Amino acid sequence: MKTIIYCRKSTEEDSRQTQSLGTQQRLLIDLATRENLEVVDIVKESKSAKEDHNRPLFANMLERIQNGEADSILVVHTDRLARNLIDAGYIIKLIEQGFLKEVRTLTNVFFDAPSLTYMGFDFVYAAHYSRDLSVKVKAGNESKVLKGEYPSYAPIGYINIKPGKGIKPDPIRAPFITRAFELFATGEYSVKTLAKKLASEGYRSRSGKKVATSSLHRQITNPEYYGVIRRDEKLYPGNHKPLISKQLFDEVQKRLANKSRPKKQKYNFVFRDFLTCGECGCKVTAGITKGKYIYYRCTNGKGKCTQHKKYRSKQKVTDVFQEFFGGFTLDPERANKSFNLYKDSLIKEDNYKKDSKDAIKQQIANLKRKLIRIEDIYIDEQISFDRYNERKTEFENELAQLKVLSKQKNNVGTLETLELVEEVKNSSVQLSKIFEEGDDEVKRDLLKSVLWNCEFKDGKITSTRLTKLWKPLENLNDSHNLEKWRRERDSNPRYLAIRQFSKLLH
């Protein structure tokens, strides 16, 4: 008798209740070994069996059985084969026609009329369970929504806290969502040009890819960002923190509905994209008088701002940013000393990691030899199956942990990291000079690399949001103690390199 092992796990099922594909495979191989079954193939499928004709690998397996490649199926439970009566009936029909001699599970063998009756009961129960589960899940989600709890996977810009605990803003992507709405509301961008701009600023999906125009369109038409939950075209009040106001959302929808094209700007106002009002949080816009006098003021989007009537000249705003970069510029001598210290420490740590990697590789090789050895001992019947399985599991767990450690590596190499830090160091010692001597285009590029935006009130910068690369260097000139530096590493060496360098500067 030739058997095919079939393993299935639906992505809709609770992982705590259903065995993984790997676990199913291990249990069935052990069963096949004990029963001396000839296994011709192992089929693993991640598909729901609730609907018929939904599993291509399952359909291919049945076709192979009809062609005589196998006449037996080995599965952990009948509900892995079908949760609908059409697929279930096809399995039973193959047994009745003689193509399939048996279906064997961990506890039963189905092959004749009495056993097929029990198999039919199993299939009916599985189909009923699937329908009942769908109703329960829908009712549970509805209860969560009525309580204001987000019931499913968080939209981009949010992250799930814990099962049943709702969602919270994603510290990495939430600012991009807010910025997308704000920029589109200005009327200066189409969805396509906005997607390109955000991509240039570092906006990426959870998979690390640039956000496509179609995805960005779905995001700026999603009302959930102003604090509601949308289900079946109905809106419910949500408990999650809004990323935008309802007013801003409506403004964006109005522009989308009117299909308004971005306005061509006759003047490129240097500071407009980097300023928000420190009083009301609205954008600070720019204008120009007939006499070519450029000014900046709050848009007063909420209608209650006292800063709206206070106009600041371009020169005044330029002086404010000049002062900002003056305090942000590093002392050259101290920056060079700090960089040399960091360079020495990074090279030492790199050498240590290479030694550590070699040691892990040796341990992995030793464990693989142990696995081969324990299998030989078991085949020679020198130990029991239980003892063999126990030791095998122990070795495999240890091997899995070591493989994880062996794959952990920096996103960039030592040389590239040093080049990045040196580039930031060289730029940071002359920020003020670059800003002062550069034209409007240079000033804008410098602001874009350093700042997300800043709050502006009464002609002064009241707070700043620096880009991730430059944030560690904020307020460094307040300290002159080089001994406060401490080593630390994490999964983002580009960012941590700057953090470590910044600690040297304190």
Gyration radius of the chain's alpha carbons: 32
pTM given for the model: 0.35
Residue with tokens 């076709």: 63
- Structure-model confidence comparison of residues 287 and 503, the more confident one: 287
Rounded Cα distance, 309 and 90, in Å: 77
Q: What is the mean pLDDT of residues 256-279?
A: 73
Q: Residue 479: name the closest of 330, 301, 321, 343 by CA.
A: 330
- Structure-model confidence comparison of residues 23 and 266, the more confident one: 23
Residue 308 reports pLDDT greater than 70:
yes
Q: Which residues pair with 454 in a beta bridge?
A: 275, 464
Rounded Cα distance, 478 and 339, in Å: 18
- Segment 331-377, tens digit of pLDDT: 666 656 666 666 666 666 666 666 667 777 888 888 888 889 888 88
Rounded Cα distance, 435 and 427, in Å: 11
Residue 504 reports pLDDT greater than 60:
no
Residue with tokens 């206070």: 310
Q: Which residues pair with 45 in a beta bridge?
A: 8
Ranges of beta strands (E only) in 128-250 are 158-160, 167-169, 228-231, 234-237
Give Cβ neighbours of residue 135 (< 8 Å, ≥ 6 apart): none
- Structure-model confidence comparison of residues 419 and 384, the more confident one: 384
Q: Do residues 334 and 505 touch, judged by C-beta distance below 8 A?
A: yes
pLDDT band with cut points at 50, 70 and 90 for residue 38: very high
Residue 40 reports pLDDT greater than 90:
yes
Q: Which DSSP string do the residues of 163-194 spell out, in sequence order?
A: TTS-EEE-TTTHHHHHHHHHHHHTTS--HHHH
Rounded Cα distance, 131 and 50, in Å: 8
Taking residue 1's Cβ as centre, other Cβ atoms within 10 Å add up to 12
